[in-house]
Amino acid sequence: MAERFERHRQPWTSDEIQKLHRLAAKGMPLKSMAKALTRSEESIQARAKEDGLKISKLR
């Protein structure tokens, strides 16, 4: 079963946004970002798209 995140539908904080930008710049894969930020992969993808970030998709 997929991991559950307690932060469902909560707004992004400025600290989280900065961390997302740092992780994306380092080329961290989506799954690792989701764990680091305790958010779903879908949430990370949506925010990255909103901010114009590229996310590594390692499979």
- Across the strands, what pairs with 35? none
The per-residue pLDDT for 1 is: 44
- Dihedral sign, CA of 5, 2, 25, 55? negative
pLDDT in tens, 1-59: 455 556 667 899 999 999 999 999 999 999 999 999 999 999 999 999 999 998 877 65
> What string of DSSP letters covers 42-54?
HHHHHHHHHHT--
Contact 33, 55 (CB under 8 A): yes
